[in-house]
Amino acid sequence: MVAAELGYTRTARILHWLTAVLVIAAIPAGIAMVNVGAGPLQNVLFDFHRSLGVTLIPVILLRLVWRLTHKPPPLPGDIPPLQAYAAHAVHIAFYALLIVQPLIGWLGTSAFRAPIDVWWLFELPPIWPEDRAFSDQVFEVHEFVGYLIALLLCAHIGAALMHHFVRRDGVLQRMWAW
């Protein structure tokens, strides 16, 4: 049986692509907003970036619960063990970093005392007392983790494309096919 026949559940796929859209939008929005200079565009980008990140919190938690209660289909048997191990490690790192990163953003923004306006609908309460020096340190970590996620994402997308175009083993379809 080819791997594509052993697909992920529909819920797992929806949650995967929802996560992908949120993260793939949050990274360039984050980079743009710190480089664009003060003004109305920067304010919109801040709100947009924070809203994407906050939306990710329930999505990734739901995804983690789903993942822990639904075993994913096994990888094709001819994948070298080291490669399977690397894929697994990247997946675990994604779950961990995507839970931690929005919380770091929330923490740093609380310590800065900027409002967290979620999709212009409601405000998230601060979770830390005002402390600008601490906020600066927290955002050093946020920046590092942001780029680490981007790096893992490049490896992950590269692997997915390699499966699809080089190995042609159906691994992309089992996450993609509807």
Does the footprint of ligand HEM cover residue 118 (CB under 6 A)?
A: no
Q: Which residues, 6+ apart, have CB-to-CB distance to 106 below 8 Å?
A: 53, 54, 116, 124, 127
Closest residue by Cα to residue 108 from 149, 50, 69, 161: 50
Shortest separation between residue 130's beta carbon and ligand HEM, angstroms? 14
Look up residue 152 and give its amino acid.
Answer: L
Dist CA 169 CA 178 (whole Å): 17
Q: What is the separation, in whole angstroms, between the first and last Cα of the chain?
A: 18
44, 72, 162, 167: which one contacts ligand HEM (CB under 6 A)? 72
Does the footprint of ligand HEM cover residue 174 (CB under 6 A)?
A: yes
In the range 77-106, which residues lie near ligand HEM by CB under 6 A? 87, 91, 94-95, 98, 101-102, 105-106
Q: Which residues, 6+ apart, have CB-to-CB distance to 123 below 8 Å?
A: 115, 116, 117
109, 111, 169, 170: which one contacts ligand HEM (CB under 6 A)? 109
For ligand HEM (CB under 6 A), the number of binding residues is 42
Interface ranges with ligand HEM (CB under 6 A): 16, 19-20, 23-24, 26-27, 30-31, 34, 49-50, 53-54, 56, 67, 72, 75, 87, 91, 94-95, 98, 101-102, 105-106, 109, 116, 139, 142-143, 146, 149, 153, 156-157, 160, 171-172, 174-175
